[in-house]
A and B are shown apart, each in its own frame.
Chain A
Amino acid sequence: MSFWKIAWRNMRQRALASSLTGLSMALGVAVMICVIVIHSVAVRQFQQDAQGYHLIVGNGKGSPMELVLSTVFHVGTPLYPIPYDYYREFTDGKFAPFVEVAVPYCMGDSFVVGDKVFRVIGTSPDLFDKIKFDADEQGNLLGYKFSAGRNFKVENCYEAVLGSVVAAQSGLVVGDYFNPTHGISDGENPGKEHGAFEIVGVLKPTGTANDRGVFVNMEGFYLGDGHALTPKDDAELKRPIGPRGEPKVDEPRGTLAPPLCYDTGGAEVTPLPERQREVTSILVLCRQFGQLQIDQGVNKDPTSPAQAITPTRVVTQLLQNIVGPVQVVLLVLTILIVLVASISILVSIYNSMSERSHDIAVMRALGASRQAVMLIILVESILLSVLGGLAGIVLGHGLVGLAAPYVVESTGVRLNVLEFDEWEAVILPALVALASLVGLLPALNAYRTDVARSLSGVR
């Protein structure tokens, strides 16, 4: 009979105590699994959110972190806008030769549904037509897809596309209308309502922060109250007009702004003159070697009002400086939980040693060496830990699976029940080591069992 079987029989003999001990270990490991999976998903999510473009260009007076947080993750206060003319440098100006796609972001409005607040982003249809946000396992780039409807059209001012989470939580569908409110709302004091936008598309879940975004046609966004830059603003702020001096406003170039726009009823609408426009940030997908040119052209030019940052680099800093330490704290806490569970195994086995000293003495009388009985106790400790750990891994993934629908609905982050992190492979070996350590004390007790005394009934 193997030592495993002897240990298993001993565990079954004390089924209740063994189960409770195993359960405490399972709960500890389950919490650890949740932290590991969430950490892994969060890291991937953070990194994935900033995929699909090389640079973000925004106001040079803010920090790169603020620019990334507001542009990529839709949190925090957006930086002060940069002139529209500067954006034009990327579409048909000096940076245009290095640019594949430049997508403008105009931020500052909100969409309030009950107690939930979503950011409204005025942008161009290029965001969904030309930016790829992910890649499949074969490395093929994946673009945005619509679960319903279509992308908004540049000439239809008041069309909008909802992220999947927004659609799920607002209940809005294609064909519905909604009114953005002015300003970044805290949910309690929504700003003044703008005109209604028609929802023409709902994005499929992307697992990025854009699932929580409301994307409206930039042309309609500009026509909202308070979004037009007045000459007075221009004069008071004394902001640079543009790198090439006075911008040639009111002369639409390329395909950026249509000469005419239409409202939801099909009536003609006059777009906001370019002179009165600003953009909060620009997502730039560069051509080959273009990133370096733009980086130098924007960041090394003292007259530039903007900064160009590499979002992935900032996200990496974010992970290292903010998310990383938090995760470390959580991991340390869960490790402490597992340690406590391990100590409960020690206590459980140790407390049973006096009642099983007789059995150990019998085994010794049958020829078991001191090392053998010691090993049996260690095996029991390891068995309890590993079985508890395995149950914890199943439980942890089960909890992740249970939480997945809620998480994807509220955050857009997709959790996969069967998603195993490489760190999980460390858990079981670590538990074996830990169990060997905590099993050592009762095992030594078994080692020292006085056979003659125990057989005579003296304890």
Chain B
Amino acid sequence: MLRIENVKKSYREPDGGRLPILDVPLLEIAAGEQVVLRGRSGCGKTTLLNAIAGLTTIDSGMIAINGLDLSRLPEAGRDRFRARNLGYVFQTFNLLAAFTALENVLLGMTFTGQRSDPSRARKLLERVGLGHRVHHKPAAMSVGEQQRTAVARALANQPVLLLADEPTANVDPAHQQQVIDLLRGVCEQENVAMLLVTHSPEVSSQFGRVEQLEEVNRVATAQTPAPGPQPPAPCPQTPAPPSLAE
């Protein structure tokens, strides 16, 4: 379903040089498969997710979903593809404060070019246990409820792939498991593949397939310290993401 091949991404440095961030020879995820991606901070996890989502352009290589190479699509095509085929759960939920839970989910349907389906939005909210909170705005919801709303929004358009960027990072330990159970459950029910980025060993231990970014990404591999007692060196700090046009 997802095939990443020879993807390279670098950022321009102030001195004119290039700072490599990604060099992924191959990464594949099958339809409905749930994969955890682990790695140290700054190793390019979010950049990889953004590249898969088409939010960041890559320098070379191929990112194909169901055989369609996103890197060859123009920006408008990537936008449309993202709206229809991808779900994105952010670390900070990123619900829009002006909208109710229901409207946040509907917002996920707005940009597909098709009519929004309020009944599906309600069902999704009911499925994540928020049937009684549909008209509440994020400010009136708990952190757990906000994250569940974000999950419902990510699934609004029946995506083929759900990208989850540290979805439990801002959730207290008591609710972490609920979020993971929810994500896994709805992805299984909807047959949605999931690529989940996490630092948590407790979370990753629950998944059958865990990819270590340092092994997937040659740039990060080169920075990985030799095994031993010394503390692990951090990856070179990824600069603030540049614009899409870059």
Contacts and interface: CB of A to CB of B under 8 A. Distances in A.
Given A368-B79, A453-B241, A6 B56 contact: no
B50 interface: yes
- Bin the interface of chain B by size: 35 or more
Interface in B70-107: 75-76, 79-80, 82-84, 86, 88, 90, 92, 94, 96-99, 103, 106-107
Contacts of B47: 452
A384 B21 CA distance: 44
Nearest to B243: A450
Interface stretch (B61-69, B109-117, B206-214): B109-117
Interface stretch (A8-16, A62-70, A143-151, A323-331): A8-16
Nearest to B105: A1
Interface in B204-246: 240-244
Interface in A70-104: none
Contacts of A359: 96-98
Contacts of B153: 366
A445 B111 CA distance: 19
A458 B240 contact: yes
Contacts of A364: 55, 79
Contacts of A407: none
B108 interface: yes
Contacts of A314: none
A372 interface: yes
Interface in B109-148: 109-112, 116
B107 to A, nearest CB: 6
B83 A370 contact: no
Given A450-B241, A452-B55, A369 B79 contact: yes
A9 B94 contact: no
Given A358-B94, A451-B55, A366 B242 contact: no
A280 to B, nearest CB: 71
A362 interface: yes
Given A368-B111, A450-B243, A450-B244, A362 B79 contact: no
B176 interface: no
Nearest to A373: B111
B111 A372 contact: yes
B9 to A, nearest CB: 11
Contacts of A368: 79, 83, 110-111
Given A362-B96, A451-B55, A455-B90, A369 B242 contact: no
Given A1-B107, A372-B111, A365 B94 contact: yes
A365 B53 CA distance: 8
Contacts of B158: none
Given A10-B98, A358-B94, A359-B96, A451 B103 contact: no
B82 A367 contact: yes
Contacts of B46: 456
B84 A367 contact: yes
B189 to A, nearest CB: 21
Nearest to B118: A1
Contacts of A372: 79, 111
A5 B110 CA distance: 11
A367 B80 contact: yes
10 contacts: A1-B103, A366-B110, A367-B84, A368-B83, A369-B79, A369-B111, A450-B243, A450-B244, A452-B50, A455-B50
Given A5-B103, A9-B99, A364-B79, 11 more contacts: A9-B103, A13-B97, A359-B98, A365-B53, A365-B90, A366-B82, A451-B55, A451-B244, A452-B242, A452-B243, A455-B90
Interface of B: 46-47, 50, 53, 55-56, 75-76, 79-80, 82-84, 86, 88, 90, 92, 94, 96-99, 103, 106-112, 116, 153, 157, 240-244
